[in-house]
Amino acid sequence: MSPDALNSFFSLCIGFALAGALASGYQAFLERPAGFGLLQHGVMAKAFAAVPFLVFAAPFIIMRNTLLGKRVERRRFEFVMMATVLAGFWSLMSGTFVLMTLKAVGLLA
């Protein structure tokens, strides 16, 4: 496996792990699952504060909603695959951002 492929795989894993940790922490703290409905509070401080949280928690929320929709609503395979690719790409980008930030701060070599 090439170093670039390994780095991308590591970024993907970091992105999904961070998304899962954020969404699980939110659910443990507020006793309700996180969702994109957090943005429906209008133009308020809550909605603006939810944006950075949702940027990093979105892959987990997308996959959770997709798998629930597959089971409950009998969604087609194509829709599930498209949502999985979207969540994977989003996770890759957020994981890359986290790794770049850690490198800039000096916590990673």
Task: Going residue by residue through the chain, which has 109 residues, state the pLDDT in tens, using 9 for 90 and above.
Answer: 898 899 999 999 999 999 999 999 999 998 888 888 777 766 777 777 788 898 999 999 999 999 888 778 877 888 889 999 999 999 999 999 999 999 999 998 7
Distance of alpha carbon 16 from alpha carbon 95, whole angstroms: 8
Note whether 16 and 60 are within 8 A (CB): yes
CA distances to 31, 61, 75, 94 from 82, rounded to whole Å, are 30, 15, 12, 18
CA distances to 17, 25, 86, 91 from 61, rounded to whole Å, are 12, 13, 12, 11
Domain regions of the chain by residue span = 3-105
Tokens of 57: 């928690």
Note whether 37 and 27 are within 8 A (CB): no
State pLDDT tens for residues 3-22. 889 999 999 999 999 999 99
Distance of alpha carbon 77 from alpha carbon 72, whole angstroms: 14
CA distances to 13, 26, 82, 94 from 10, rounded to whole Å, are 5, 24, 22, 12
